Amino acid sequence: MTEADRTRERLIETYRRKAAHYDVTSRLSPVPGYPQHGQRLLAVRALGLHAGATVVDLACGTGLNFALLERAIGPRGRIVGVDLTDAMLARAERRVEAAGWSNVRLVQADAAGFDFPTGVDAVLSTYALTQVPDRGLVIAHAAAALGPGGRLAVLDLKIPSVTPRWLSRLGVAVVGVGSSASLDEWIARRPWEEIRMAARSSLAETSWAELCFGTAFLVSGRVRG
Ligand SMILES: C[S@@+](CC[C@H](N)C(=O)[O-])C[C@H]1O[C@@H](n2cnc3c(N)ncnc32)[C@H](O)[C@@H]1O
């Protein structure tokens, strides 16, 4: 088993445990009152969606972005929600059924190996990609799947550049990246920088914004051509 396989297994186990309470606990993450909904709204706006658009939500979890996406694309649009963890997708399915959306397809897959459908107008990923080992590859594949003018937006947490190390550790421990070792690795690796670079090399007109005192970032861009 490779290191990437082990990380994948650990993530699945973690999110199987979290799935049942994810919608409630995520509202308290990274701290109660954190403007997660406002950040999601910014990410969806960055996609420039139109009625009838097809959007892929990578690592969609329980589908917390779906209502915002539905509002933007309407019933003629299409959402494809992709996630690694069966239990998170089961929650997403319940959300879709409860809302009566008939234009959502849920796929259990690793974002890095996902076979994108044709005609994708936009790809979104929120609060997930910094945990995915192959994040650069995920962005390259997503960009390749987008048609001309298609847009990608990635929103996730980061460590503010000027934060003392002890405060970073405390903050990320609250977020729950995982074990102490993976937390150290997350901080040391600065995965948000890798994501920024990957977006810059695969997309045109990228924009990078630090949100909430540098505790989150939104990177977005448009496909060349
Ligand atoms: C913190 S949750 C975020 C869920 C959702 N995007 C949101 O904004 O609420 C992280 C999600 O990423 C998923 N995930 C982790 N690694 C993944 C991968 N390699 N491919 C697809 N999904 C992955 C987990 O199963 C989990 O549902």
Secondary structure (DSSP) of 20-86: GGHHHHGGGSSSTT--HHHHHHHHHHHTT--TT-EEEEET-TTTTTHHHHHHHH-TTSEEEEEES-H
21 CA from centroid of ligand 1 (Å): 15
15 CA from centroid of ligand 1 (Å): 8
The string of pLDDT tens digits covering residues 87-109 is: 999 999 999 999 999 999 999 99
Alpha-carbon span 7 to 133, nearest angstrom: 8
Please give the pLDDT value at position 41.
98
Nearest CA to ligand 1 atom 17: 84
Closest CA to 26 of 78, 90, 72, 91: 91
Please give the pLDDT value at position 189.
84
Task: Give percent of the chain with pLDDT exceeding 90.
Answer: 76
Closest CA to 42 of 224, 212, 223, 213: 212
Q: Ligand 1 — pocket residues by CB below 6 A?
A: 11, 15, 26, 59-61, 64, 82-85, 88, 110-112, 126-128, 131-132
Surface-to-core class of residue 1, CB atoms within 10 Å of its CB (0-12 exposed, 13-18 middle, 19+ buried):
exposed
Residue position matching structure tokens 């909904």? 37
Please identify, by atom number, the ligand 1 atom nearest to the C-alpha of residue 19. Answer: 27
Please give the pLDDT value at position 170.
57
Task: Give percent of the chain with pLDDT exceeding 70.
Answer: 91
- CB of 52 within 8 A of CB of 76? yes
Which phi and psi angles does 75 have, rounded to 5°?
-70, -20
Residue position matching structure tokens 């445990």? 17
Q: Is the pLDDT of residue 5 over 60?
A: yes
195 CA from centroid of ligand 1 (Å): 15
- CB of 197 within 8 A of CB of 20? no
Q: 28 or 50, which is more confident?
A: 50
Question: Token pair for residue 116?
Answer: 């994108």
Domain ranges of the chain: 3-222
Please give the pLDDT value at position 46.
98
Alpha-carbon span 30 to 211, nearest angstrom: 13
150 CA from centroid of ligand 1 (Å): 22
Nearest CA to ligand 1 atom 25: 85
Q: Is the pLDDT of residue 219 over 60?
A: yes
- CB of 58 within 8 A of CB of 82? yes
The string of pLDDT tens digits covering residues 150-195 is: 999 999 999 988 766 666 665 555 455 555 567 777 888 899 999 9
Pick the CATH number of 3-222 from 3.90.550.10, 1.20.120.350, 3.40.50.150, 3.40.640.10: 3.40.50.150
48: confidence class by pLDDT, cuts 50, 70, 90? very high
Residues 60-68, mean pLDDT to the nearest whole number = 98
Closest CA to 128 of 152, 153, 155, 161: 155
10 CA from centroid of ligand 1 (Å): 12
Please give the pLDDT value at position 223.
92
The pLDDT mean for the chain works out to 91
Nearest CA to ligand 1 atom 10: 128
The arrangement of strands across the sheet holding 104-108 comes to 104-108, 78-83, 54-58, 120-126, 146-157, 216-222, 204-211
87 CA from centroid of ligand 1 (Å): 11
The string of pLDDT tens digits covering residues 119-150 is: 999 999 999 999 998 999 999 999 999 999 99
